[in-house]
């Protein structure tokens, strides 16, 4: 057993046993949404929720990765079958939003459910109301407006961009965002991005009351051309707060086997800061936090949605935290082929050793196809970026590319951009991406994914939505919403135990060893049962070779 990293055994055991984590999202607050008429959808739902919850699945005896979640079959709700990547506004309202509302009210779950999980095979894009093009040919100018960035920018400036991801629109399940939409600027709440009141929060969604989630909220224009927010003058039930939206994640990928593997990887997430790398590959940056926007960096596009210089803020957070080895925080500020970070699994021309990240990568944040000055091997390198790296356990993907979550439901990417689905196929477990052009100010904050998931104690759904600035817009979250991450602790000697140790028993140490790969710790544990002190634990870990790295 090798020495891993967190500052104290006390911190580890608290993350496993203590009441501080009790406020996290729970299985009973999660509703899995599937359609039994879509074979991949019911198979994924059964694998995730178990055959006791999802009846009629192909297996019939799946225990379920999360057997205590709730589930609903859209077919049982009388909804028309939904398949393919895209649906119209009217179809979303009549066959998805309204049936789910009715189901939750009929079952008395309207306040119990805080998270929805959409299963593979369900549409992931809502077409713009007055530009509902459905031609998916990447070379065709008549493809949906969300696939045409310049046209979308015009639509956004006019205040008439009603397109969205299915998932992000469902976060606003209880708000009538689209009901007044008639194709005119500003005629519905959906004609823009709604500021996420949970953005950059660091506490569980359960810290925010949802007692008023069914009440209509008061909104106002924050920027006169696009962004909508809670009306600051609203009070009581009309005030839109972090408790008034739903977390939504998706279990999706190129194949059912990919999705099942994704679910399996989320079962026991342990990151080792002494061995696992984090890639933060920027382009054309000055390398320091600057919120002015004067440097034209994509990660700090100034608006009401974006309040950080993201890649630099993430780097600084990790360095200040001190648990990840500095050499494993692979930040590159510069543009050009010589500053495009790739893994060792692809033989590309003109690579130099400093470009190659050989360590297992647990978070891939890159400008990808938007990396200025070219990529080694040409633009297609970005399209295959995920397959170049050694993907670490339960790795996270969030690149700064417009269409990096487009390629679900059988459609492809655009302009050589890497895909969340590709990353999952290569061994990843989690992703945040964009199904349409997001425009740079609405992309997810890597800083919050790191702060709340990699370094923190929030569930994946909570961490992911704390990173997303806008609701009712184009982002999707891929992965098990209930997954949480643990950092492997460094336990080299008593000097490393910076926090009070407290009282722990043999079961705590056994659980610790199981987390970090000790096959049969109970059989090997020699000291007598009873309270442990720091010296006991240090000696025991050292007996398994857990010395200082």
DSSP class per residue in 181-218: -SSSTTSSTTSSPEE-TTTT--S-GGGS--TTTTSPPP
Q: If residue 496 lies in a helix (H) or strand (E), which one and from where to where?
A: none
CA gap 286, 471 in Å, rounded:
30
CA distances from 166 to 89, 91, 96, 457, 471 (A): 10, 11, 9, 27, 11
- Beta pairing, strands 125-126 & 164-165: antiparallel
Tokens 């190659």 identify what position? 356
Closest alpha carbon to 176 in 58, 238, 97, 123: 97
Backbone angles phi, psi at 456, to 5 degrees: -105, -160
Residue 8 has a pLDDT of 30
What confidence category does residue 508 fall into, taking pLDDT thresholds of 50, 70 and 90?
A: low
Tokens 């008023």 identify what position? 212
Q: Is the pLDDT of residue 507 over 70?
A: no
pLDDT tens, 330-343? 999 999 998 999 99
What confidence category does residue 67 fall into, taking pLDDT thresholds of 50, 70 and 90?
A: very high
Q: Is the pLDDT of residue 476 over 90?
A: yes
**Cβ pair 146, 65 in contact under 8 A:** no
Q: Is the pLDDT of residue 129 over 50?
A: yes
**Cβ pair 298, 306 in contact under 8 A:** no
Which stretches of 222-298 are DSSP H helices? 256-265
41 or 18, greater pLDDT: 41
pLDDT tens, 89-105? 999 999 999 999 999 99
Q: Best-predicted range by mean pLDDT among 9-13, 362-366, 485-489, 518-522? A: 362-366
Asked which of 200-214, 215-229, 306-320, 360-374 is least confident by mean pLDDT, the reply is: 215-229
| Mean pLDDT value of segment 229-240 | 97
What confidence category does residue 536 fall into, taking pLDDT thresholds of 50, 70 and 90?
A: low
Residue 351 has a pLDDT of 80
CA gap 246, 169 in Å, rounded:
10
Share of the chain above pLDDT 90, in %: 68
Asked which of 241-250, 463-472, 517-526 is least confident by mean pLDDT, the reply is: 517-526
pLDDT tens, 437-450? 999 889 999 999 99
pLDDT tens, 248-263? 999 999 999 999 999 9
CA gap 270, 268 in Å, rounded:
6
The beta strand positions in 45-157, using DSSP E, are: 70-73, 86-87, 115-119, 125-126
pLDDT tens, 133-185? 777 776 677 889 999 998 998 888 888 999 999 999 999 999 999 999 999 98
- Beta pairing, strands 361-366 & 430-434: unpaired
For 505-533, give one letter per residue: b (16+ CB within 10 A) or e. Answer: ebebbbebbebbebeebeeebeeeeeebe
Residue 178 has a pLDDT of 95
Q: Is the pLDDT of residue 244 over 50?
A: yes
What average pLDDT does the structure give for the chain?
A: 86
Q: Which two tokens stand for residue 489?
A: 């602790």
Residue 335 has a pLDDT of 94
Q: Which two tokens stand for residue 109?
A: 């779950």
Closest alpha carbon to 213 in 111, 286, 118, 108: 111
CA gap 515, 59 in Å, rounded:
29
Q: Is the pLDDT of residue 424 over 80?
A: yes
Share of the chain above pLDDT 70, in %: 84
195 or 512, greater pLDDT: 195
Residue 362 has a pLDDT of 98
Radius of gyration from C-alpha coordinates of the chain: 23
Residue 331 has a pLDDT of 97
Residue 23 has a pLDDT of 78
Residue 414 has a pLDDT of 85
């Amino acid at each position: 057993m090798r020495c891993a990293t967190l500052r104290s055994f006390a911190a580890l055991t608290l993350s496993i046993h203590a009441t501080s984590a009790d406020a996290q999202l729970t299985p009973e607050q999660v509703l899995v949404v599937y359609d039994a008429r879509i074979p991949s959808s019911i198979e994924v739902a059964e694998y995730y929720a178990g055959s006791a919850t999802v009846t009629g699945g192909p297996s019939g005896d799946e225990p379920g990765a999360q057997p205590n979640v709730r589930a609903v079959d859209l077919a049982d709700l009388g909804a028309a079958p939904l398949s393919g990547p895209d649906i119209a506004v009217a179809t979303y309202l009549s066959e998805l939003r309204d049936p789910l509302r009715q189901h939750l009210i009929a079952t008395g779950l309207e306040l119990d459910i805080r998270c929805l999980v959409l299963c593979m095979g369900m549409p992931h894009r809502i077409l713009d109301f007055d530009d509902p093009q459905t031609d998916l040919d990447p070379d065709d100018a008549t493809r949906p407006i969300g696939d045409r960035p310049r046209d979308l920018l015009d639509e956004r400036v006019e205040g008439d961009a009603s397109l969205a991801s299915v998932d992000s629109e469902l976060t606003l399940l209880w708000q009538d965002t689209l009901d007044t939409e008639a194709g005119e600027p500003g005629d519905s709440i959906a004609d823009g991005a709604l500021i996420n009141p949970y953005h950059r929060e660091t506490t569980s969604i359960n810290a925010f009351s949802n007692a008023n989630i069914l009440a209509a909220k008061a909104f106002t224009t924050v920027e006169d051309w696009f962004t909508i927010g809670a009306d600051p003058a609203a009070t009581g039930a009309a005030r839109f707060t972090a408790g008034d939206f739903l977390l939504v994640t998706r279990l999706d990928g190129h194949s059912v086997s990919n999705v099942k593997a994704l679910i399996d990887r989320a079962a026991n997430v342990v990151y080792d800061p002494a061995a696992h790398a984090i890639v933060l590959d920027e382009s054309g940056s000055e390398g320091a936090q600057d919120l002015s926007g004067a440097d034209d960096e994509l990660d700090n596009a100034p608006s009401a949605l974006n309040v950080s210089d993201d890649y630099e803020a993430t780097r600084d957070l990790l360095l200040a935290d001190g648990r990840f080895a500095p050499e494993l925080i692979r930040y590159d500020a510069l543009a050009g082929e010589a500053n495009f970070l790739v893994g060792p699994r692809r033989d590309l021309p003109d690579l130099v050793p400093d470009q190659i990240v050989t360590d297992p990568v647990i978070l891939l944040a890159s400008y990808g196809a938007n990396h200025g000055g070219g990529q080694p091997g040409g633009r297609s390198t970005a399209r295959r970026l995920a397959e170049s790296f050694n993907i670490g356990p339960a790795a996270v993907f969030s690149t700064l590319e417009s269409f990096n979550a487009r390629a679900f439901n059988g459609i492809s990417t655009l302009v050589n951009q890497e895909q969340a689905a590709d990353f999952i196929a290569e061994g990843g477990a989690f992703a945040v991406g964009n199904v349409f052009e997001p425009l740079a100010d609405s992309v997810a904050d890597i800083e919050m994914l790191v702060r709340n998931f990699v370094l923190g104690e929030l569930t994946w759904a909570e961490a992911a939505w704390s990173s997303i600035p806008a609701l009712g817009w184009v982002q999707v979250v891929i992965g098990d919403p209930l997954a949480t991450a643990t950092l492997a602790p460094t336990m080299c000697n008593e000097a490393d135990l910076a926090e009070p140790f407290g009282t722990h028993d043999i079961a705590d140490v056994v659980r610790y060893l199981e987390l970090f790969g000790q096959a049969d710790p109970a059989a090997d544990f020699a000291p007598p049962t009873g309270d442990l002190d720091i010296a006991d634990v240090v000696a025991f870990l050292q007996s398994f070779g857990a010395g200082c790295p």
